[in-house]
Amino acid sequence: MNTFDPYAYLDAAAAAVDLPVPAAYRDGVAANLARLHAMAADVIDFPLPAPADPALAGGDDPA
């Protein structure tokens, strides 16, 4: 998680979902991705007791 390159990720993810990101917005989008990556790293690195399934609202779907 420490080597996250927001521009490289932006290009790969944008291609994966077919979402062109104009050059004028690349820096802003990358800055948002970097900020959210830092938050994700903080959450993912936190040790949780297993098992814990995603807490989707409305109750877990047994399917």
Partner 1 sequence: MSDALRADASAAAVAAAVQSGAVSATAVLEATLKRIAALDPTINAFTAVAADRARAKAAALDASRRAGIAPGPLAGVPFGVKAMIDIAGLTTSGGSALHAGDPPAARDAVVVRRLEAAGAVCIGALNMDEFGMGGTTENARFGSTRNPHDPTRTAGGSSGGSAAAVAAGILPVTLGGDGLGSIRLPASLCGVYGLRPTRGTVSAEGLLGESGTIGTVGPLARSARDVALCLDALCGGGLAARRTVDTLDAGADGLRLARAGGYFAEGLDDDATEAVALAAAALRITACVDFPEPARARAAAMLVHTSESAVGKLEALRANLEGFDPLTRERFLAHALLPAQWYLHAQRFRRWHTAEVLRLLERVDVLLLPATPCVAPPLGSRTIRIGGRDLPTGPTLGWFAQPLAGTDCPALTVPILRPGKLPIGMQLFAAPHREDLLLRVRPRGGRRPGRPAAGPPTRASCEPSPQSPCYSVCATTAAHCNIGTVFSLPP
**Contacting positions for partner 1 (CB under 8 A):** 9-10, 13-14, 17-22, 25, 28-29, 31-33, 36-37, 39-40, 42-44, 46, 48-49, 52-58
**Cβ 5 to partner 1, closest distance in Å?**
13
DSSP element (H, E) containing 8? helix 6-16
Q: How many residues does the chain have?
A: 63
Distance CA(33)–CA(10), nearest Å, equals 8
Are 41 and 1 spatial neighbours (Cβ–Cβ below 8 Å)? yes
Residue number with CB closer to partner 1 (56 or 63): 56
**Cβ 63 to partner 1, closest distance in Å?**
17
